[in-house]
Amino acid sequence: MSIARCTSTHPIIRQIRQACAEPFEAFEECLRQNESAVGNCAEHVRRFLQCAEQVQLPQSSTTVEA
């Protein structure tokens, strides 16, 4: 439970959920339609992961100086 709570509130996870909602919903729909052949959804997974990899957190206004 604590892991799920942590991931659901983490800023990058929230950003991915927002930015990649469409490919994730398409993946979920594919899974519903292919319960006995989830391998048919590989392209949907690829699209979602490709989207998620491109998500970046907004730069914060504070910087760390060395």
Q: Which domain holds residue 42?
A: 2-54
Could you tell me if residue 37 is inside a domain?
yes
Residue 61 pLDDT: 46
Could you tell me if residue 62 is inside a domain?
no
Could you tell me if residue 18 is inside a domain?
yes
Is the model's pTM score more than 0.85?
A: no
Could you tell me if residue 45 is inside a domain?
yes
CATH of the domain at 21: 1.10.287.2900
Given a cut of 90, whether residue 57 has pLDDT beyond it is no
Residue 62 pLDDT: 47
Could you tell me if residue 48 is inside a domain?
yes
Q: How far apart (Å, rounded) are the C-alpha atoms in residues 62 and 20?
A: 27
Q: How many domains does the chain have?
A: 1
For 8-49, the pLDDT digits (tens) are 778 888 899 999 999 999 999 999 999 999 999 999 999 999
Could you tell me if residue 39 is inside a domain?
yes
